[in-house]
Amino acid sequence: KNAPMTTNAAGGTSQRGSYNNNSPSNDNGFRTTTKTHLLTTGDEDSAKLTRAVWDKDHFDESQSSSSANNLESDGEQQQQNAQVNDIFSAEGTDIVIPYEEIDLSVPPSVYSHPSVDGKSSEQIDLVWDLMLHEAKVEAAREPLLVSFLYSTIINHPTLESALAFHLANRLSNPAMLSTQIMSLIREALDADPDFRRNLRADILAVRDRDPACNCLPDVFLYFKGFHALQTYRVSHYLWKSGRRVLAHYLQSQVSQNMQIDIHPNATLGSGIMLDHGTGIVIGETAHLGHNCSVLHHVTLGGSGKKGVDRHPKIGNGVLLGAGASVLGNINIGDGCQVGAGTLVIEDLPPRSVAVGVPAKIIGRFVDVTAQPSIGMNQLGSKESDEGIAFYI
């Protein structure tokens, strides 16, 4: 069933639905938190596009393995694209939409390009369709931003073109023109299909997790954590291509302009949110897994000299609180939550909850599929504590 549509104070519509994990409770009586999610849209057309992006059928496990084989004819493709209903499960139903699939897979029914999968005969990009529509809505609402919105989003044919233009203008200086930087960004995007898919997973991750985000253009235009992450992906491509001086140049520009320092050789997964971003440092041999959320002033720092694998390895679905420092070649397991201001210098097992200086494990998530990076619930809140078994 569709979640009910309501009218907000600004005259737009919103749709409320609920997500939960696969195990709402366990034998010990602990109960995990069901996250209620609110999507705000500008009008009915935007609501339909939003439903298309978040259609539960995109993420049905029973269909995922055979979805590519079911898209052989144009008629079937159009039929699947038209499925804009049932995006959220109504509260109280048993249907589950796993967050990890929404953020990470970006399946062919949401984004498909002939050069990527080699099977579809047409390009599908519901993320770009939604962002383009929302940009037009915002341009109609705010005349002073019409020129800005048209030059950065509406006049561009693709998300890749818009990203290259916008980042180039943010990173340009007298030493390197915006047109030169734009050419580098397009080169990286054209050469790396994973980059293009990660771009969409990253923007959806912010749109889904940050309550301050009202629409996709907000993420694309204003969130410097998103800008720094995409510039890192360009510099990582250059680093792997042997153009290390140029990769370091982009790293330096991001550090100066956005106060975020990510080494080009670090490995970052998909569906990542760098919230606020200021002061984040990620070192050369660090690894940050899929679906992680990193708040401001987080350090993934090294211990040791040059040439040594000296930085942390962070698993999937991890939430690193503001000001947390993780130092040395240690492992932080999947689904961990590290509290604000915590200093971690030893391994953390999966699903651990750690706080303090130095870090002390105070509990463990009951649900083995828990991803605290999704709920963004800080320790001490009712929503966070309900899903944690605390040690006495």
**Residue by residue, what is the 3-state secondary structure of 348-366?**
ECCCEEEECCCCEEEEEEC
Residue bearing the bigger pLDDT, 70 or 115: 115
pLDDT at site 310? 93
pLDDT band of 115, cuts 50, 70, 90: low
Query: Cα(first)–Cα(last) distance of the chain, in Å?
Result: 43
Strand order in the sheet with 287-288: 267-268, 287-288, 313-314, 331-332
List the one residue out of 315, 317, 316, 276 whose CA is nearest residue 298.
Answer: 276
Backbone angles phi, psi at 362, to 5 degrees: -105, -10
pLDDT digits (tens, 9 = 90+) for 167-211: 999 999 888 999 999 999 999 999 999 999 999 999 999 998 998
Backbone angles phi, psi at 2, to 5 degrees: -80, 145
List the one residue out of 374, 377, 389 whose CA is nearest residue 334.
Answer: 374
Degrees (nearest 5) of the Cα angle 40, 43, 46? 75
pLDDT band of 52, cuts 50, 70, 90: low
Structure tokens that stand for 376 in this block:
């963004």
DSSP symbol at 300: E
pLDDT digits (tens, 9 = 90+) for 241-273: 999 999 999 999 999 999 999 999 999 999 999
pLDDT digits (tens, 9 = 90+) for 63-96: 444 444 443 444 444 444 443 333 333 333 343 3
pLDDT digits (tens, 9 = 90+) for 370-381: 889 888 888 877
* 312: preceding bond cis by omega (within 30 degrees): no
Structure tokens that stand for 108 in this block:
């062919």
What's the whole-model pTM score?
Answer: 0.75
